[in-house]
Amino acid sequence: MTQSNVDLVLAGVAVLVAAALQDMIPATRLVPVKWPFLPAVALYYALAGPVVVALTVAVWAGMLTDALGGLPMGGTCVLLVLTGLGARQLRGPLGGLGGGFRGAVLGAAGASLQQVWVWLWVGGSAGVSGAEMLRLAGVSVGAGAVLGGVVFGVLGALAGGLRPPARNEG
């Protein structure tokens, strides 16, 4: 099995496990947002995977997030693809950070961005005020940081750490 096949299999398993965890772990009074497992996996592969794997994971993670959250189909997919492409541009500046810390930084940013994005898509029609959206985005920072650090640590250990992309992988 080639390395790209191993990457794709691990990515598929990671997306399925993340979807199950994101669906099973409910929002609580302390953390009134869903834990962003799928976005964290998409961000990991945005940094660690070849571009084809990164985009595939972003599309599947977005579609599953929308399906599990009852959101309009494709909205989160667009966000994760754009966020992933942006994160790929930060590989150099973030390269000096440890995997877990890198995951915490990207997870916090990604989760809060996702909260705002979802509000823009459905928040107004669901009766969520701008102030409430900002509060939830703030909570999402903490949830995303914790989960991003954990996901990057676990996937990095399973994949042997973040590998620098080959020159032809963009």
Q: What is the DSSP string of 117-169?
A: HHIIIIITTTT--HHHHHHHHHHHHHHHHHHHHHHHHHHHHHHTSPPPPPGGG
pLDDT of amino acid 164: 44
Sequence spans of domains, the chain: 3-164
Class of domain 3-164: mainly alpha
pLDDT for the residue numbered 103: 85
In angstroms, rounded to a whole number, what is the distance separating the alpha carbons of residues 40 and 144?
8
pLDDT at 127: 66
First CA to last CA distance, the chain? 23
- pLDDT score for 165: 46
Contacts of 17 (CB under 8 A, 6+ apart): 37
The reported pLDDT for the residue numbered 168 is 45
Cα separation, 164 vs 68, in Å, equals: 33
Helix %, strand %, coil % of the chain (to 5): 75, 0, 25
Q: In order along the chain (170 residues), what is the average pLDDT of each group of 10 residues?
A: 72 93 85 84 88 90 89 86 87 65 86 82 66 81 90 84 48
Which residues, 6 or more positions from 40, have their beta carbon under 8 angstroms from its beta carbon? Answer: 18, 103, 107, 110, 144, 147, 148, 150, 151, 152
Which pTM was predicted?
A: 0.83
